[in-house]
Amino acid sequence: MAGGVFATSRRLPLLILAFAVLVGGIAVAYPTVSAAQEAVRRPWTLRDLFFGSRKSERVEPPPPPVTTKTRTRPSQPAARRPVAPAAPVVPKADEAKVVLVIGDFLGNGLAEGLEQVYAENPNIRVVSRTSGSSGFVRDDFYDWPAEAPRVIAAEKPAAIIVMLGANDRQQMSVKGSREAVLSDAWKAEYQARTEKLARALSQSGVPFVWVGVPSFKPPSMLRDMLDFNDFYRAAAEGTRAEFVDIWDGFVDEAGAYIQTGPDINGQPVRLRADDGINLTAAGKRKVAFYAEKPLAKLLGDLVAPGVSAAMPAAPLTDADKPVDVDSIVRTAPISLRDPELDGGKELLGASVTAKHEARSAGERLLVDGIAPASVPGRADNFGVPVVIAAPVAPASESTTSITPAAPAAEFADRPSGRREIR
């Protein structure tokens, strides 16, 4: 019995130790909520069992790096180009004259530019009857020589503007065969179609202006457009119409395409779109600028904005009245004949006396080389004898006299200013 008690007493510390280790392991594996909230804890050891637990040594995590917030100033918005205010739209008069624009998409841009030109003119109305994809090559899509007389009869214009051909860089069907651009057969057929349109416009009895095409960004297209303009010029001049060449307004000094150039006021602006073909608003206005002067010839006094044809003429001012010719006081011209070379003494047309029949001083100077008589006492009067006084010599020395110049009588028979050297 005693041995069993002793054995039990010997196992008791081991059991207690095993239980403590088990509890410590569970505590380490399952920390409490408060321990979980701590950032870092020291692990449990056997020292805590026999010597008591120590306060957990909390290791503070390193402080986060301090970042300094810098206030950034908001970026300034890009300066915008001032936009010109839109011109006020003036109602058109009932009897306003119609300017008819026919052509393709470039012709439609020309019509938009002309609408700005005559926005304040009640006597002129711009009508655009363009077809953006039309041309001379695809007459199966839109036949301008056939359609133009119908459009003219419907609109009854006072003047017509043509701008056409930007879509024509393509093959053309000629007598059932496909001809390449600017081949001989292509050129002959294209010229015939342009002349056919010009004759249709001319037979309508309405004056017209043909505006050429500008340059384009693709190099091959730029070269072809030069040839196209030759066809349009020949067709217009063949019917005694005016051809307006706008090429120089859209190229640089070397004749190359430009995206940006001067507008109608000389200010650099963007004239063409990114595709290098279409026109911007400033480009359309510039094309219209070229057409303004020819239109003014066709429309006459109607181009003056704000002036109605029925309004009486303003009264003439004093500056506008004709001048009475008889009341003009005329100053007679001075004769170029001047015997004394010191200003005219006679008016043109005066009678020539016997005194003037002799050679004048000017004739003697130019022909004989004899200058006129100099004024006595003047610096150029070399005919007066000059006497230079001798310097005063000391008393012990004899004075030396300088021979005076020849007497004036010696030169009396010679012209003044010419002195003979002997």
CATH architecture of the region 97-303: 3-Layer(aba) Sandwich (3.40)
Q: Token match 């917030």: residue? A: 69
Q: How many Cα atoms within 13 Å fall on the side-chain side of residue 58? A: 9
Q: How far is CA 180 from the centre of its chain?
A: 37
- Tell me the backbone φ, ψ of residue 299, rounded to 5 degrees: -95, -20
State the DSSP code for 161. Answer: E
pTM for this structure? 0.55
- Tell me the backbone φ, ψ of residue 208, rounded to 5 degrees: -140, 160
pLDDT-derived band at 27 (thresholds 50, 70, 90) equals low
> How far is the C-alpha of 345 from the C-alpha of 229, rounded, in Å?
66
Q: Which residue has the higher pLDDT, 243 or 43?
A: 243
Question: What are 262's strand-pairing partners?
Answer: 268
Q: Which residue has the higher pLDDT, 269 or 418?
A: 269
Q: What is the pLDDT of residue 368?
A: 77
Answer whether 215's CB lies under 8 Å from 225's CB: yes
What is the chain's Cα-based Rg? 54
- Tell me the backbone φ, ψ of residue 210, rounded to 5 degrees: -110, 120
pLDDT digits (tens, 9 = 90+) for 146-156: 999 999 999 99
Residues 6+ apart with CB under 8 A from 392: 399
Domain locations in the chain as residue ranges: 11-51, 97-303, 361-422
- Average of per-residue pLDDT values in the chain: 76
pLDDT digits (tens, 9 = 90+) for 39-69: 445 666 666 666 655 554 555 566 666 665 5
pLDDT digits (tens, 9 = 90+) for 213-223: 999 999 999 99
Question: What are 124's strand-pairing partners?
Answer: 97
Q: Which range (161-175, 269-283, 375-389) has the least confidence?
A: 375-389
351-376 in b/e burial notation, b at 16+ Cβ within 10 A? eeeeeeeeebbeeeeeeeebbbeeee
Q: What is the pLDDT of residue 140?
A: 93
Secondary structure class of 222 (helix, strand, coil):
helix
